[in-house]
Amino acid sequence: MTKIQHIGIFTSGGDAPGMNAALFAVVKTAETLGIKVSGIRRGFEGLIDDDLIPLQSQQLQKQMHLGGTILKTARSERFKSKLGQEKSVQTIKDNKLDALIAIGGDGTFRGMLSLSSISNIPFIGIPGTIDNDIAGTDYTLGFDSAVNTAIKCIDNIRDTAESHNRVFLVEVMGRDSGYISIYSGLSCGADSILIPESAQDFTYLLEKIKNYSSEDAFIVVVAEGDEVSVEEVSSKIRSVNTDIDLRIAKLGHIQRGGNPSAQDRMLGIRLGVLATKALFQGESNKMAGVRNNRPTLSAFESRVKEHIIDAELQALLTLFCK
Ligand SMILES: Nc1ncnc2c1ncn2[C@@H]1O[C@H](COP(=O)(O)OP(=O)(O)OP(=O)(O)O)[C@@H](O)[C@H]1O
Ligand SMILES: O=P(O)(O)OC[C@H]1O[C@](O)(CO)[C@@H](O)[C@@H]1O
């Protein structure tokens, strides 16, 4: 087993609040273990282009509360090619990196699995995506902050919706996962919540809105990945109830920005410490996560994608939205 002396770390895919807290925790832990850490800028792009910077905890301590990622991030098409991956292996050798920590979503983890087929470098993944769609962890970095931002926006929308007795369709992010939609919708008392994981939710909405009589607001939270788009939802609603004043609000990237919540800062700290200690102890190809509120390492191969809405959440959706 090679003694780990130099770790490379990068953030990849969509930025997520809490990534900077995780970076801080990695570097702080590494310093106590006598390990040097280099930041690889712009995700896999920086690995291809040999774009590395030294990281010190003193500086990161002042930046851990910031949203986004101070290392910058990218969606890298070049890394998907053989040439991109070979150049990345060269960067690893040229900089004498002994291990990598990748903070990102399922795409990033797929990228790490590709890299591991042509390189023996040990690595640990930290789940960082607002979508909360990674297996092996209760929560991903950024999810809680994104939900809190969405909640603030939907609360604001309710004020104006109640004043005008309007129907509002609010589209939230999540790619093909309904987690942001469920958490923000339930937390805001939405009348209907549409998620890609359920087809029944749309039937419930149409049943409910048929009898809506414009004397109240009616809030529908729609996951961007739902099988029915907000525009389609809008025209279907209008076809079953013509007496409706309806507006659409797409929250978009507002949800991804902003300072991380306390929960995401703590998650970043816990996962950063776990990932660094794991590499130091000789672990490799694992993901750092939390299960039942305990830091947990799990085998990387199976850690890629998951968006199972468990029975309890399903029951809540039915109770509040049917
Ligand atoms: N199958 C793959 N093989 C090699 N590299 C991949 C693969 N899938 C994704 N990647 C790399 O990982 C990068 C990040 O993936 P992606 O853009 O899907 O974001 P993500 O990590 O899933 O994060 P988020 O959930 O925030 O979008 C891609 O831009 C690409 O460089
Ligand atoms: O910022 P981009 O590249 O448009 O990606 C947007 C996507 O990224 C995420 O914010 C995170 O995966 C998704 O919720 C969304 O679909």
pLDDT in tens, 93-104: 999 999 999 999
Give a yes or no: residue 70 inside a domain: yes
C-alpha 92 – ligand 1 centre gap (Å): 19
194 with 297, same domain: the answer is: no
Give a yes or no: residue 120 inside a domain: yes
**What is the Cα–Cα distance from 219 to 189, expressed in whole angstroms?**
8
Per-residue confidence band for 211, with pLDDT thresholds at 50, 70 and 90: confident
CB of 132 closer than 6 A to ligand 2? Answer: no
Is pLDDT above 90 for 260? yes
CB of 174 closer than 6 A to ligand 2? Answer: yes
Q: How do strand 123-127 and strand 218-223 relate by DSSP bridges?
A: unpaired
Q: How far is CA 238 from CA 94, 216, 217, 223, 245, in A?
A: 61, 17, 15, 20, 9
Proximal ligand: closest to the CA of 104: 1
> What whole-number percentage of the chain has pLDDT above 70?
99
Is pLDDT above 80 for 8? yes
C-alpha 226 – ligand 1 centre gap (Å): 21
110 with 153, same domain: the answer is: no
162 with 297, same domain: the answer is: no
Place of tokens 């099988």: 227
**What is the Cα–Cα distance from 49 to 313, expressed in whole angstroms?**
44
CATH number for the domain spanning 185: value is: 3.40.50.460
Q: Model's pTM, two decimal places?
A: 0.97
229 with 276, same domain: the answer is: no
116 with 237, same domain: the answer is: no
Place of tokens 């130099």: 6
Assess contact for 106 and 114: CB atoms under 8 A: no
Of 12, 71, 132, 303, the one to substitute when testing ligand 1's pocket (max ligand atoms within 8 A of C-beta) is: 12
β-strand partners of 300: none
C-alpha 101 – ligand 2 centre gap (Å): 21
Q: How many CB atoms lie within 10 A of CB 313?
A: 17
The residues near 321 (Cβ < 8 Å, ≥ 6 apart) are: 185, 190, 191, 192, 193, 201, 204, 205, 208
Give a yes or no: residue 129 inside a domain: yes
Give a yes or no: residue 1 inside a domain: no
Q: In which domain, by residue range, is 199 found?
A: 143-256
Q: Of 131, 144, 191, 201, which residue is the catalytic one? A: 131
Establish whether 131 is a catalytic residue.
yes
Q: Which domain-ending residue is among 240, 256, 272?
A: 256
131 with 267, same domain: the answer is: yes
**Total domain count, the chain:** 2
Per-residue confidence band for 283, with pLDDT thresholds at 50, 70 and 90: very high
Question: Please, what is the end-to-end C-alpha distance for the chain in angstroms?
Answer: 57
11 with 131, same domain: the answer is: yes
Per-residue confidence band for 61, with pLDDT thresholds at 50, 70 and 90: very high
CB of 14 closer than 6 A to ligand 2? Answer: yes
The protein residue with its alpha carbon nearest to ligand 1, atom 13, reads 108
CB of 137 closer than 6 A to ligand 1? Answer: no
239 with 264, same domain: the answer is: no
CB of 305 closer than 6 A to ligand 1? Answer: no
ipTM exceeding 0.95, yes/no: yes
Give a yes or no: residue 168 inside a domain: yes
CB of 131 closer than 6 A to ligand 2? Answer: yes
Asked which of 110-124, 147-161, 266-280, 300-314 is least confident by mean pLDDT, the reply is 300-314
150 with 225, same domain: the answer is: yes
CATH number for the domain spanning 64: value is: 3.40.50.450
**What is the Cα–Cα distance from 185 to 183, expressed in whole angstroms?**
6
